[in-house]
Amino acid sequence: MTYGPGSRIGILGSGQLGRMLAMSAKRLGYQAHIYSPEENTPAGQVADVETVADYLDVEALKHFAAQVDVVTIEFENIPAEALKVLEALVPVYPQPNVLETTQHRLREKTFLSDLGVPVVPFQAVHSLADLEAGMRKIGLPLVLKTAGFGYDGKGQAKITRPEEAEPAYQALGEQVCILEQFINLDREISVIAARGADGAFKAYRPVENRHRNHILDMTLAPAEISPQMEQTALNITRKIMEALNMRGLLCVEFFVTEEGYLLVNELAPRTHNSGHYSIEAAVCSQFEQQLRAVCGLPLGDTSLRQPAAMANLLGDVWQGGEPDWAACLALSPVYLHLYGKKEAKPGRKMGHITALGSTPQAAEALAAQARGLLQAKPE
């Protein structure tokens, strides 16, 4: 079934991804209905309707389902049980089974490994004994991660010496974890792709992601990798989406090892920080693409109009006072996106800048210059 303009799109989650998704929906003539436990949210500020309720409030979920035509998500840290409640009443994409797999690191890695997709050597950790066995099997250094609900480097610890293992496990609450080999990287890349109602598949070109303190700092589009590596990344992404039989958008994050091998790191069944550049630089943005996929419309053109770079704006930019917006916006072609968050905290994503250029490096330099000017005080 197709849900055309005028339909009501339900969005679970209310952060900046939901905000940009709602803005894209409204541009196409859809109504956007946000559901989350928080008030005055980035997405709620631009939505037609905002429901504030717990994700496991069954009566609120039923009321929400009655007001929308189709439901999607803006982040994966939502109980899969909520999607199951909704799915009995209204179409939900991505499907609950996709969320169950991707929101749990151990289930995700096991799924990928069973599929034959290259991943970092790993082991499940249910006890300190498992952790010690994993250290002996995989070898140091290692990364210990909580199995569920982690993002931006949260819920993980690096282990370089045996005596660090027990304190790291205790610091993570002695919960179910996954132990992974620490990989020496050449770079990190990601692929964002969509799969439609008819199984059609379209992917954006791989982009390079640079992190600072485990948070995405800069994305360069396209990534400077060989055509062979690019095609391999696209083929792996398609294989994963087909195995999940998912409908919607998926971001696949890859490690590129120093030896030139690709390893899948994580999956995100939604729009992604590394795809923000697509608003200005791609024919069809990742946000419109998610809407097209979940609404049963033809998938959009993923071609890159021009090389681009996206720079995240964290709350740190505000620490010296109000940023110098005029200096930043005097540059061109530079595009500023602010998320409507009231309080700027260090490490909190407050917005982003996208810059276009003749090459990814030229765009990167312009994005870095624009971000630097925000913190430069006028004389």
The model's confidence at residue 320, banded by pLDDT at 50, 70 and 90, is confident
Q: What is the mean pLDDT of the chain?
A: 95
Contact criterion met (CB below 8 Å) for 97 and 91:
no
What band does 111 get if pLDDT is binned at 50, 70 and 90? very high
pLDDT value at 376 more than 70? no
Residue 74: pLDDT above 60? Answer: yes
Q: At 179, is the pLDDT very low, low, confident or very high (cuts 50, 70, 90)?
A: very high
Nearest to 318 by CA among 355, 343, 336: 343
CA–CA distances in Å: residue 70 to residues 63, 75, 81, 114, 248: 13, 16, 17, 32, 12
Residue 371 has what pLDDT?
97
DSSP 8-state code for residue 40: S
Sign of the C-alpha dihedral computed for residues 183, 169, 154 and 321 taken in this order: negative
Query: Which pLDDT score, from 0 to 100, does residue 378 have?
Result: 53
Averaged pLDDT, 134-150: 89
User: Residue 91 has what pLDDT?
Assistant: 98
Report strand pairing: 8-12 vs 31-36.
parallel
Q: Is the pLDDT of residue 62 over 60?
A: yes
| Mean pLDDT for the stretch of residues 207-225 | 96
**What's residue 28's pLDDT?**
97
Sequence-distant (6+) residues with CB within 8 A of 246 are: 93, 94, 95, 98, 195, 269
Map out the domains of the chain as residue ranges.
Answer: 8-92, 121-181, 185-374
Q: Does position 59 have pLDDT exceeding 70, yes or no?
A: yes
pLDDT band at 152 (very low <50, low <70, confident <90, very high): low
Q: Say whether domain 121-181 belongs to CATH 3.40.50.1820.
A: no
pLDDT score recorded for residue 155: 83
Please give the CATH topology (third level) of the domain spanning 8-92: Rossmann fold (3.40.50)
Structure tokens at 352: 């982003």
Q: What is the pLDDT of residues 251-302, one digit of tens each?
A: 999 999 999 999 999 999 999 999 999 999 999 999 999 999 999 999 999 9
Largest CA distance in the chain: 61
Is the pLDDT reported for residue 16 higher than 70? yes
Identify the pLDDT of residue 243. 98
Q: What is the pLDDT of residue 272?
A: 98
The CATH code of the domain at 185-374 is 3.30.470.20
Q: How confident is the model at residue 15 (pLDDT cuts 50, 70, 90)?
A: very high
The pTM of the full predicted model, rounded to 2 decimals, is 0.94
pLDDT digits (tens, 9 = 90+) for 321-339: 999 999 999 999 999 999 9
Bridge partners, 191 (sequence order):
252
